[in-house]
């Protein structure tokens, strides 16, 4: 019951309209470039997580000493193919994972990749992940969660 209460915030009691079976189009990604720009322009923001609403499909952008990184937390017991899809996309770009580890007794898999710090390249990569890894559909909504230094204990 406790786990069900935790997810009720993200999963409404009344069904939402079914999204199209068509792949997402340019309009569905209209906010990505602006959110990436805002993240890069606000030094107080340490990370930006993008999720497809009502799903666990997400990617996180973070600041690093020499640029930016992209992090994923996959759940092999729920979607065993998510991890290989992410690895395949980045392998095609010639980028090996910097971090590839299981934790939480094998329930969670963390992947971290170094990425370009160029604004357009970051936004394009986010769109590729959302379409090629998560199969985002037309009408899906993206939610953005910036994390500021002040939100992280011990990082002020």
In a domain, 4, yes or no: no
Sign of the Cα torsion 127, 60, 86, 84 reads negative
In a domain, 3, yes or no: no
User: Do residues 60 and 72 make contact, with C-beta atoms less than 8 angstroms apart?
Assistant: yes
Q: Pairing relation of β-strands 142-148 and 99-103?
A: unpaired
pLDDT tens-digit map of 54-91: 888 999 999 998 889 999 999 988 889 999 999 999 99
pLDDT tens-digit map of 108-155: 999 999 999 999 999 999 999 999 999 999 999 999 999 999 998 876
Question: Bigger pLDDT: 46 or 24?
Answer: 46
In a domain, 154, yes or no: no
Which residue from 136, 156, 155 is spatially nearest to 27, judged by alpha carbons? Answer: 136
Q: For the chain, how many structural domains are there in total? A: 1
pLDDT tens-digit map of 89-113: 999 999 999 999 999 888 899 999 9
Domain of residue 142: give its range: 26-148
In a domain, 93, yes or no: yes
In a domain, 80, yes or no: yes
User: What CATH number should be reported for the domain holding residue 106?
Assistant: 3.30.70
Spell out the SS3 assignment of 37-80.
HHHHHCCCEEEEEEEECCCCCEEEEEEECCEEEEEEEECCCCCC
In a domain, 18, yes or no: no
In a domain, 110, yes or no: yes
**Does the predicted TM-score (pTM) go above 0.75?**
yes
In a domain, 55, yes or no: yes
Burial of 24 (0-12, 13-18, 19+ CB in 10 A): buried
């Amino acid at each position: 019951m406790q786990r069900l209460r935790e997810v009720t915030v993200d999963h409404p009691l009344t069904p939402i309209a079914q999204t199209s079976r068509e792949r997402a189009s340019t309009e569905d990604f209209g906010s990505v470039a602006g959110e990436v720009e805002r993240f890069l322009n606000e030094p107080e923001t340490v990370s930006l997580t993008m999720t497809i609403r009502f799903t666990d499909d997400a990617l996180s952008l973070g600041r690093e000493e020499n640029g930016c990184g992209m992090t994923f937390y996959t759940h092999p017991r729920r979607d065993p193919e998510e991890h290989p899809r992410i690895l395949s996309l980045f392998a095609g770009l010639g980028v090996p994972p910097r971090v590839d580890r299981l934790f939480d007794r094998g329930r969670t898999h963390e992947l971290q990749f170094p990425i370009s710090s160029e604004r357009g390249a970051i936004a394009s990569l986010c769109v590729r992940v959302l379409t090629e890894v998560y199969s985002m559909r037309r009408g899906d909504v993206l939610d953005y969660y910036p994390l500021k230094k002040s939100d992280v204990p011990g990082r002020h």
